[in-house]
Structure 1
Amino acid sequence: MTNELLFIAAFLVFIFIMMAADLGLFGKSDKPVSLKQAGFMSAVWVVFALGFYLLILNYGHLLHHIDSFSALQEINIRHLHQLKLNPNDFQGSLNLYQKNLGLEFLTGYVVEYALSVDNIFVMVLIFTAFGVQSKYYHKVLLWGIIGAVVMRFLFIFVGAALIERFHWVLYLFGAFLVYTGVSMFINRNQEESIDTENHRVVKLASKYFSVTPKFQGNKFFVTINKKKFITPLFLVLLIIEVTDLVFAVDSIPAIFSVTKDPYIVFFSNIFAIMGLRSMFFLLVNIIDKFHYLKVGLAVLLAFIGLKMLLANYVEHIGLTTGRSLLIILGILVISVVASLLFPKKHEARKT
């Protein structure tokens, strides 16, 4: 347990340092984030995620302090890895475990990163509806991501505890993901909108706090005539936090379909979330061009849900973690390529 806590502590320190660097790059002044800056930080986060994959590949045994075959077997059973370990070859079995653990991290990271794109669609809608100036986006997203890290930490470890105690929870997750995927496909062409005055978060916040009618620069709180007010920018932050909470209900069960190790779920989730902020600035002006991505995400959720429902059979039909990763990547690549090859009709007319 001490090793696990040290691993988590070191990881959180690393994330804190990277967030400080990210803030230093994006938050020196209230200026819109350039495409060059967003591209650089997006690449940095992807490189760090791949570096973490290599770390797990070589030192994954340190996470749970696996120093014997019995310890390895216990982790294999507890986290439902279903690996065929050889008691006469500890090192070979350990290499197999670490390779699988690395693939689980990579697959979970890709799944979460892909589902984050849908989050970007909604964020753009929120900022546009409330008329937030682009130079304030980075501050809202920074605090939004800090809140997301805390919420997902709680979600993941509560979910892991439930799965360990009540295995049938996995089937509930699976059924929910299939339902979500089907619903997303059916509603893929519906125009989304936000009623800024009647939004539930706005009504709830206005009930308990005084809200200024206009933005006050980049401030979340202001004092007017010795009275404390929250600003519309803080309302936007609250709505983004609530939105992420809703998305977490989809994305966290999705990663539990890939791995039952709560630490790997957490690591893959956090790396994807940390890259979300820079990816937002990279895609904010072109996100509407990927109109088939919703279809791809719907298929992705349905596939992951079915994989959870058929958990007892996937190994028998050869649906390993590596092959699942290839299928997931294939779904995403096809949806992006289809969007570029077959643009929306109104876009085609413009050209």
Structure 2
Amino acid sequence: MLDTIGTPTLYLSFTVLVALLLAVDFFVLKHEGEHKVSTREAAMWSVIWISIALAFGGWLWWYLDGTLGPEIAKAKALEYLTGYLIEKSLAVDNVFVWITLFNFFAVPAMFQKRVLLYGVLGAIVLRAVLIYVGALLLAQFHWILYIFGLFLLYTGVQMLIVSDQEPDLANNRVLRWMRGHMKITDEYHGHSFFTFKNGVRYATPLFVVLVLVEVTDVIFAVDSIPAIFAVTGDPFIVFTSNIFAILGLRAMYFLLADMAQRFHLLKYGLAFILVFIGAKMLLLDIYKIPTGIALGVVGLILLVSVLASLMRPPPAPKP
């Protein structure tokens, strides 16, 4: 039996809210047309998405305070906030990979927004399924927490080891499979994912990039979803904090795209966050680190890695 505050009404209401937010996003994209997103515009949308996520957390506390009491309201609101911060921070590594992808395929700036919007939509569906499966497994097999913890520890250590290495996209297995099994054009055809040549359907490079964006989210979801289960076992909290972190990913990408090098030490901070969350998960049956302390530790690691990046400029690129 899953221990959750989520009711059918809450899930339905949240789903409708997300659908409305996505509809607004699609409308804005269509209204503004194809254009390069400026840093100012990205910053504005980042503030909007973060404000919506925090407002939902405030509403959740108010709703639970009136229905289940102040103690549960405080605990669940803190779990939501901690989960959101963890998901938001781990998403930064996802953004760095997107930057590499777009540079590798030389995706025109005006088309990047469209790719990421569809990428976010696919990520929401994918994570909803993974969270549901993960919650069911944890409800039946408590020992899976230890598997998750070991995996997060291993992933964090691996990130520390290979943090300076760029992804080898030229030898990516998914890319090689697509090139071997699909007809793909060499040039872009506007914002289209497919085109026709002599009556034959071809995928465009934009479709290839979209597929790789979705694949990278699968990879990062395997890290981030177990990480949030270390904070809470409530699937409603896991789901809502995850989705709100994803909804702001596109704005985060455009905000960081032109200054990723300035935060070159952030990857080390993300690795330490995974190690900390993995250790927290392994210690759950021995000592349960309070959620407030976990929130403080994650926030401190992020702050230190950002400040260290600004104080220590990245090394000059090799000629």
Letter aligned with residue 250 of structure 1: D
Shift of 1:60: 3.0
Shift of 1:272: 0.3
CA–CA separation in structure 2 for the residues paired with 1:23 and 1:37: 16
Among residues 322, 328, 331, which one is paired with 2:292 in the alignment?
322
Give the aligned partner of residue 338 of structure 1. Answer: 308
Shift of 1:5: 2.1
The reply on whether 1:182 has 2:186 as its aligned counterpart is no
The reply on whether 1:261 has 2:264 as its aligned counterpart is no
Please tell me whether the aligned partners of residues 64 and 70 of structure 2 are also in contact (alpha carbons under 8 angstroms): no
Please tell me whether the aligned partners of residues 121 and 287 of structure 1 are also in contact (alpha carbons under 8 angstroms): yes
TM-score if structure 1 supplies the norm length?
A: 0.85
Letter aligned with residue 314 of structure 2: K
Per-residue Cα deviation, 1:215-248 (whole angstroms, up to 9, x for no partner): 1111001122222221111010001100100000
Among residues 5, 30, 39, which one is paired with 1:35 in the alignment?
39
Give the aligned partner of residue 132 of structure 1. Answer: 107
Give the aligned partner of residue 45 of structure 1. Answer: 49
Please tell me whether the aligned partners of residues 87 and 228 of structure 2 are also in contact (alpha carbons under 8 angstroms): yes
TM-score if structure 2 supplies the norm length?
A: 0.93
Shift of 1:190: 2.2
CA–CA separation in structure 2 for the residues paired with 1:60 and 1:259: 16
The reply on whether 1:248 has 2:204 as its aligned counterpart is no
Letter aligned with residue 230 of structure 2: S
Give the aligned partner of residue 19 of structure 1. Answer: 22
Q: Larger Rg: 1 or 2?
A: 1
Among residues 7, 10, 13, which one is paired with 1:7 in the alignment?
10
| 1:76-115 mapped onto 2 (5 Å cutoff) | 94-115=69-90
Give the aligned partner of residue 97 of structure 2. Answer: 122
Shift of 1:138: 0.3
Shift of 1:61: 7.1
Please tell me whether the aligned partners of residues 39 and 254 of structure 2 are also in contact (alpha carbons under 8 angstroms): yes
- Give the structure, 1 or 2, with the largest relative contact order (CA under 8 Å, sep 6 or more): 2
Mean CA deviation greater in 254-263 or 198-207 = 198-207
Shift of 1:193: 3.6
| 1:129-278 mapped onto 2 (5 Å cutoff) | 129-195=104-170, 198-278=171-251
Gaps in structure 2 of 5+ consecutive residues: none
CA–CA separation in structure 2 for the residues paired with 1:293 and 1:215: 33
SS of 1:346's partner is: coil
Gaps in structure 1 of 5+ consecutive residues: 67-90
Give the aligned partner of residue 264 of structure 2. Answer: 291
CA–CA separation in structure 1 for the residues paired with 2:126 and 2:270: 23
Per-residue Cα deviation, 1:46-105 (whole angstroms, up to 9, x for no partner): 11111111111111379xxx7xxxxxxxxxxxxxxxxxxxxxxxx7xx311110000000
Give the percent of matched residue pairs that are identical in Structure 1 and Structure 2. 43
Letter aligned with residue 107 of structure 1: T
CA–CA separation in structure 2 for the residues paired with 1:223 and 1:266: 39
CA–CA separation in structure 1 for the residues paired with 2:182 and 2:167: 28
Mean CA deviation greater in 99-108 or 13-22 = 13-22
CA–CA separation in structure 2 for the residues paired with 1:287 and 1:26: 24
Shift of 1:20: 2.2
